[in-house]
């Protein structure tokens, strides 16, 4: 998996475009490494067991129990994209809500 930043989002960041993104986080696979909050301390913090919490998110129901969803508007998409890319078990995904495409990891 390439760790190189998507240049589209780097360029748009410079133009201060506001991105509408959906963050999807599967807490069941978290390995407690803490990389996500180093990359994006606005959206992640750790709970008492050192598992990541997606701040102000909603938990899914039924089969999606343990999966957390959060929609954000940001001019700094690289923060959450880096969090998703540096997460070793890849339990964080980022969707661009305008294009419908997964942009990280």
Joined together, the tokens standing for residue 41 give: 């301390």
Q: Residue from 22, 34, 69, 70 that binds ligand SF4 (CB under 6 A)? A: 34
87 binds ligand SF4 (CB under 6 A): yes
Q: Given its phi and psi angles, is residue 6 left (phi above 0), alpha (psi -120 to 50 degrees) or beta?
A: beta
Count the residues of the shown chain that bind ligand SF4, applying the rule CB under 6 A. Answer: 13
| CA nearest to 49, candidates 31, 67, 37, 65 | 31
31 binds ligand SF4 (CB under 6 A): yes
DSSP 28: G
Q: Residue from 21, 23, 24, 52 that binds ligand SF4 (CB under 6 A)? A: 52
92 binds ligand SF4 (CB under 6 A): yes
The number of beta carbons lying within 10 Å of the beta carbon of residue 49 is 7
28 binds ligand SF4 (CB under 6 A): no
Query: Which residue ranges make up the site for ligand SF4 (CB under 6 A)?
Result: 30-36, 52, 87-89, 91-92
């Amino acid at each position: 998996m390439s760790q190189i930043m998507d240049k589209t989002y780097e360029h748009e960041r410079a133009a201060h475009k506001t991105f509408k993104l959906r963050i999807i986080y599967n807490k069941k696979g978290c390995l407690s490494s803490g990389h996500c909050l180093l990359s994006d301390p606005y959206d992640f913090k750790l709970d008492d067991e050192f598992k990541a919490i997606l701040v102000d998110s909603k938990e899914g129901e039924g089969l999606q129990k343990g999966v957390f969803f959060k929609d954000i508007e940001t001019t700094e998409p690289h923060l959450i994209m880096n969090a998703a890319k540096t997460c070793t078990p890849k339990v964080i995904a980022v969707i661009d809500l305008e294009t419908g495409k997964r942009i990280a990891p």
